[in-house]
Amino acid sequence: MPNLADWTSFRNEWSALLECTSPVPDRSHFSELLGLVDWPRLLVLAEEHGVLGHLTAKLNAVDDSWVPPDFRQAFLERHREQVFSTLRMTAELFRVLELFETKNIQALAIKGPVLAMQTYGDPAMRSYGDLDFLVRQHDIRRATEAMLASGYQAAVPLSAIDDGKIPGQYLFSKPDSKLLVELHNDFTLRYFPRQLPIEDFFARQIRVRLDAQEAPALAVEDELVLICIHGAKHFWERLIWIADVAALVTRQTGIDWERATQSARAVAAEHLLNTGLQLAADLLRAQLPEKVDARARADARAAQLIKAILQWLPAAGYAPPGLFERALFRLRMRGGVLAAPAYLLRLTLVPTEEDWQKGGQLSENRFLDILRRPFRLARKYSRSGKS
């Protein structure tokens, strides 16, 4: 595979990806860019950035003469695989929702097929490796029991739940397939600068139609805040996360911007919302209301985050920020003389399953779990390569 860490050699391909993921594309400019790209590199870059569906859709709209026949076929085959995966994932999403409903467990579908429908009107436009649900903490044990009974394996055992241990997510997998399901709540979503007001999210829920069925989902304003925090959590290393923000604010013309601002303010994520919005506007030409755009551009902390993001974004995670850069980015995510160090300290010291679970055994010493975590993180993120 080409060396994505040296992204400067991908400038033409990167420009083509930006054009094809814009919600207001310039078809003539896109065609010109196609005349400059290296096709193997374009295919690799699109896959690594998660925008193969966007690229395939745009290639279908240009003249055949612009695309070598073998690569047009390659894009179509990769996209066909994505469509089949989407159908399977969507079917499983409703199966899990039905399973939870029979146990009287309330759940909201987040990201995944629901987000794809809200952003693009087509669940197959983007790829996703797992299904994500928001479930209250007091329902986690029953949800885990239900998933185990339905054939899933739990990465977090019932004994850990009974012991009050909180993972980064409650992960479930099926041995005979690549299906992954993650359950989240206000305790696991630790990258929210303040604890997620989960009851407010449940109270504002909406229904999103998927394949003639409806799935319970976050209100658009809450989903917008969530995906901006999710992008920041992963340092905005992939273009798909910015494309989602751009598509959501473009397609959902009825967004209540005051509610979105209040939702972000409730979790101290105004800077993260403004970062996502400004990236979508500057890189992908997403059109924002004048006041919203002005407020995002006036956010100095968001501007600092964006300056850092643009240094590693094109490399799709193959030129990740170093340990010091990561720490500085986390501080800027929260902001504030006291709040920022407290936020970084919480992320550094609060153990997850990687700290209290090893080789199937649960640690019984919480103090040692706390002490081990910063050393484990230092080893993990001092390594080179994709993060």
Q: Domain map of the chain by residue range?
A: 7-82, 91-218, 320-387
Which pLDDT score is estimated for 258? Answer: 97
Instruction: Show the tokens assigned to 360.
Output: 């199937």
Q: Quick check: 198 and 124 in contact, CB under 8 A?
A: no
User: Residue 254 in 3-state DSSP?
Assistant: coil
Mean pLDDT of the chain: 93
**Least confident among 63-67, 85-89, 133-137:** 63-67
Which pLDDT score is estimated for 381? Answer: 82
Give the residue-averaged pLDDT of 208-237: 96
Q: Indicate if the pLDDT at residue 54 is higher than 60.
A: yes
Q: Indicate if the pLDDT at residue 1 is higher than 80.
A: no
**pLDDT tens digit string along 347-373?**
999 999 989 887 668 888 888 889 889
Task: For the chain, give the percent of residues with pLDDT over 90.
Answer: 76
Q: How far apart are alpha carbons 283 and 278 in whole angstroms? A: 8
Q: What is the pTM of this model?
A: 0.94
Q: How far apart are alpha carbons 142 and 317 in whole angstroms? A: 36
Q: Indicate if the pLDDT at residue 387 is higher than 60.
A: no
Which pLDDT score is estimated for 144? Answer: 98
The continuous run of DSSP H or E covering 257 comes out as: helix 257-266
Give the residue-averaged pLDDT of 53-68: 86
Q: Indicate if the pLDDT at residue 149 is higher than 60.
A: yes
**pLDDT tens digit string along 274-302?**
999 999 999 999 999 999 999 999 999 99
The continuous run of DSSP H or E covering 135 comes out as: strand 131-135
Give the residue-averaged pLDDT of 181-210: 97
Which pLDDT score is estimated for 272? Answer: 98
| Residue 236: φ, ψ to 5° | 50, 45
- CATH code given to domain 91-218: 3.30.460.40
Q: How far apart are alpha carbons 336 and 276 in whole angstroms? A: 20
Q: Quick check: 220 and 104 in contact, CB under 8 A?
A: no
Residue 89 pLDDT grade (very low, low, confident, very high; cuts 50, 70, 90): very high
Q: Indicate if the pLDDT at residue 383 is higher than 80.
A: no
